[in-house]
Amino acid sequence: MQRIFFVVTAFLSVLISCKEKAGDNKTVPTATHNIPVTKPRADTEKIKLKAREAFQFCKDNQLNTDFCILIDMSLHSGVKRFFIWNFKTGTVSSQYLVGHGCGANQWSSDESRDNPQFSNEDGSHLSSLGKYKLEGRGYSEWGINVKYPMHGMENTNSNALKRYIVFHSWSLMSDEETFPAGSPEGWGCPTVSNKAMKEIDPMLQKTSKSVLMWIYH
């Protein structure tokens, strides 16, 4: 009887020891913490520097010197990065969300919301950096059915007309900031909300000179 008790006791000791060792080898989940994500904001000084350069460019190229459009693609697409700069007051008069090209990503997704790529190549589905003049107003199948052809004025955007890159609105674009989500991505056109276009369109119609749109990073 004592022998049986000894064997059972030894067996239980080994079994407990094995369980403890197995427990030591288990991966202990690391406690997760909600790390706050800071919403990016436009750099006011950067906008002012671009505006000064834009004003001189408009003077040299006989473009509108009342206002211009500045688009800072270095900002997350879920924050307002489309600025109407008033040359007379030296301030941003309005700002909106604006979409960029999806490239190889899924159309209408926001996969490149904080790291867009750029190209001047036809078929790339990417936006092009550089200075454009908005000249002409036509019918668009998108948004409020208004578009403005974008005439590229630099080597980085010289194929804009060939690529059918135009400024238009899109019903998927939001009026309010969507960060940390981004704006829907199209095939390269800078797109704003329908409400935004209803505010911008009258301004573009009233001017007697072509308006500068500068897309930079």
Q: Residue 7 has what pLDDT?
A: 37
Residue 149: asked if its preceding bond is cis (omega within 30°), the reply is no
Whether 186 is covered by a domain: the verdict is yes
* Predicted confidence (pLDDT) per residue in 9-25, tens digit: 443 343 333 333 333 33
Average pLDDT over residues 91-97: 98
Average pLDDT over residues 111-122: 98
The mean of the pLDDT values for the chain is: 88
139: which strand partners?
146
Specify whether the CB–CB gap between 35 and 18 falls below 8 A: no
Whether 13 is covered by a domain: the verdict is no
Parent domain of 99: 44-216
Whether 164 is covered by a domain: the verdict is yes
Rounded Cα distance between 142 and 165, Å, is: 13
Specify whether the CB–CB gap between 86 and 77 falls below 8 A: no
CATH code of the domain containing 55: 2.40.440.10
* Predicted confidence (pLDDT) per residue in 125-136, tens digit: 999 999 999 999
* Predicted confidence (pLDDT) per residue in 37-69, tens digit: 899 999 999 999 999 999 999 999 999 999 999
127 phi and psi angles, rounded to 5 deg? -75, 160
Whether 31 is covered by a domain: the verdict is no
Residue 4 clears pLDDT 90, i.e. is over it = no
Residue 94 clears pLDDT 50, i.e. is over it = yes
* Predicted confidence (pLDDT) per residue in 65-88, tens digit: 999 999 999 999 999 999 999 999
Rounded Cα distance between 39 and 37, Å, is: 6
Q: For the chain, what is the domain count?
A: 1
Closest CA to 67 of 87, 49, 93, 92: 87
What percentage of the chain reaches a pLDDT higher than 70?
Answer: 83
Q: Residue 37 has what pLDDT?
A: 82
Whether 209 is covered by a domain: the verdict is yes
Residue 5 clears pLDDT 60, i.e. is over it = no
Average pLDDT over residues 179-201: 98
Whether 114 is covered by a domain: the verdict is yes
